[in-house]
Amino acid sequence: MSMGVFWFRRDLRLADNPLLAKAANECDRLLPLYIDDPGEGTEWAEGAASRWWLQHSLASLNRELNRRGTRLSVRRGRPSEVLPKLVQTLGAERVYWNCRYEPQALVAERNTLAALRLLGCRGESGRASLLTIPESSGKPDGTPYRVFTAFWRARQRAGLDLDVRPAPARLPPPPHLPDEVIDLPLPGQWSDKFSAHWEPGERPAERRLQQFIEDGLGVYPGCRDFPARAGTSRLSPHLHFGEIGPRQIVAAVQAWAAESGQESAAESFLRQLGWREFAHHLLYHFPETPNRPLDLRFERFRWASDYGKSLTAWRRAETGFPIIDAGLRELWETGWMHNRVRLITASFLTKNLLVPWQEGAHWFWDTLLDADLANNTLGWQWVAGCGADAAPWFRIFNPVVQAERFDPQGDYVRRWLPALRRLEGKKAHQPWKSDCSRTNYPPPMVDLKTTRERALLRFRKLPKRGTRN
């Protein structure tokens, strides 16, 4: 009788999980396992919102496993300690898992592999979370890409692996183990309201993809920047936790494009998945970037010295700029923020308020359901101007101009800011021009023109060229 363990990580699904299918073929008994590793990320351990998602996602995965005659075991501890103990208790010969590419996760994986080897147990890893392989997705000269378009073009030329497999109909029964069910700690009542907006799990992820393909994909290029509309897929938390894989999405989108002839809508959407690949590519090759700028000149950048109050006003959605406050309210209420608004809120924090981008990245990390170390790092560094962007610092988004362009009727800001409900149309974007005192909404916390000039002045003081060293 061959005994194995399948260690679920950020691949919380049964379909398009080739290694799970392999494990099911090779083992007579298989333990499906999730390890809650409190030490995994230290500073970047899952944030509060992510833990809400994870808890529900594991419950959903367990239901799927039950349907196939098995169940999920959840343990807590370091994988390099938990797994060897289990292997010894069970007499398991193999442990299977899919790779993660965050720096701490890579260390955990290396340590686990070494510990298993000492026991003579085979550890086998596969890939399920990306279309590309970060280890081997560099330029022909071996160095990593720093420019998105070159990266994505090369990846598309090389061809993407789109072999999608269905979920196994049955899985081998689990071994007999003394029950050690642990509940993950939930982040308190704040997260209760997320269930009004989201349903974690593999089936909900597939439904969301289907619905987006039917209703949203054809109009994606024209709608994706307008936060009042449901114009994007909202697949990000599902993708982050691996409830759906990028191969499944690409295959479904390409099939739709072939049938509908709408190649350019499909291309525009797939390009966003390309950004996700690029973010992981950068994080793999520059593992220090969650804390340090990719462009090292920015280590000498003069951020505001005393920014505590500004940061608090931003976090509390009390900046006095409706599009920014609406975005931060959306985040607090739903655990998600529209991409266009992420850009505007991040630009305001780093450029108008001169708060270091790492502060914003930490806030997003704690409050986003899709908090993802690669995507969040890329997003913040791109906006702050210290990441992979060719003309970075000059891009300072004016929140009023952006709001009038991307929320032309003011619907988005009125949805999240009840104080502005009486201001019609575009007027909601500049309440200080109407009678602001009667709206119970704060006045703008800074002058946009002066703070923009201050930011540009500080940028000009940076050494001119060269990104790293």
Ligand X SMILES: Cc1cc2nc3c(=O)[nH]c(=O)nc-3n(C[C@H](O)[C@H](O)[C@H](O)COP(=O)(O)OP(=O)(O)OC[C@H]3O[C@@H](n4cnc5c(N)ncnc54)[C@H](O)[C@@H]3O)c2cc1C
Which residues sit at the interface with ligand X, rule CB under 6 A? Answer: 224, 232-236, 239-240, 272-273, 275-276, 279, 339, 342-343, 346, 364, 368, 370-372, 375-376, 378-380, 383
Q: How far is the CB of 337 from ligand X (least distance, A)?
A: 7
Residue 309 amino acid letter: K
Q: 447 a known binding residue?
A: no
Q: Which is nearer to ligand X, 150 or 177 (CB)?
A: 150
Q: How far is the CB of 145 from ligand X (least distance, A)?
A: 15
- Residue ranges of alpha helices (H) inside 27-127 are 48-67, 79-90, 103-118
Q: Which is nearer to ligand X, 7 or 336 (CB)?
A: 336
Q: In the complex, what is the shortest distance from the CB of residue 409 to ligand X, in angstroms, rounded to a whole number?
A: 21
**Looking at beta carbons only, is 100 or 234 nearer to ligand X?**
234
8 Å CB contact between 127 and 10: no
In the bound state with ligand X, the residue whose beta carbon lies nearer, of 113 and 328, is 328
Whether residue 437 is annotated as binding a ligand: the answer is no
Residues ≥6 apart with Cβ < 8 Å to 105: 9, 40
Q: Is 31 helix (H, G, I), strand (E, B) or coil?
A: strand
Q: How far apart are CA 320 and CA 292, in angstroms?
A: 30
- Residue 171: how many CA atoms within 13 Å on its side-chain side? 30
Q: Exposed, middle or buried, 438 (CB in 10 Å: 0-12/13-18/19+)?
A: exposed
Distance CA 467, CA 244 (A): 36
Compute the least distance from the CB of residue 92 to ligand X, in Å: 34
Minimum distance between the CB of residue 446 and ligand X, rounded to whole angstroms? Answer: 20
Residue nearest to ligand X (CB): 379
Choice between 378 and 436, CB closer to ligand X:
378
Annotated binding-site residue? 50: no
Report phi then psi at 53, rounded to 5: -60, -45
234 is in an annotated binding site: yes
Going by C-alpha positions, the residue among 2, 288, 285, 348 that lies closest to residue 151 is: 285
In Å, what is the CA distance from 62 to each residue of 12, 42, 70?
Answer: 10, 27, 8
Is 415 within any annotated ligand binding site? no
In the complex, least distance from residue 273 CB atom to ligand X, rounded to whole angstroms: 5
| 57 marked as binding residue | no
The annotation status of 295 as a binding-site residue, yes or no, is no
Closest separation in Å from C-beta 239 to ligand X:
4
Q: What is the DSSP string of 255-288?
A: HHHHHH--HHHHHHHHHHHHHHHHHHHHHHH-TT
DSSP class of residue 183 equals P
Among all chains, which residue has been given the structure tokens 């009038």? Answer: 404
Tokens of 23: 């494990």
Residue 141 marked ligand-binding: no
Q: Nearest distance from residue 49's CB to ligand X, in Å?
A: 10
d(CA 41, CA 30): 28
Q: What's the full length of the chain, in residues?
A: 469
Which residues define the annotated binding site for FAD?
Answer: 220, 232-236, 269, 370-372
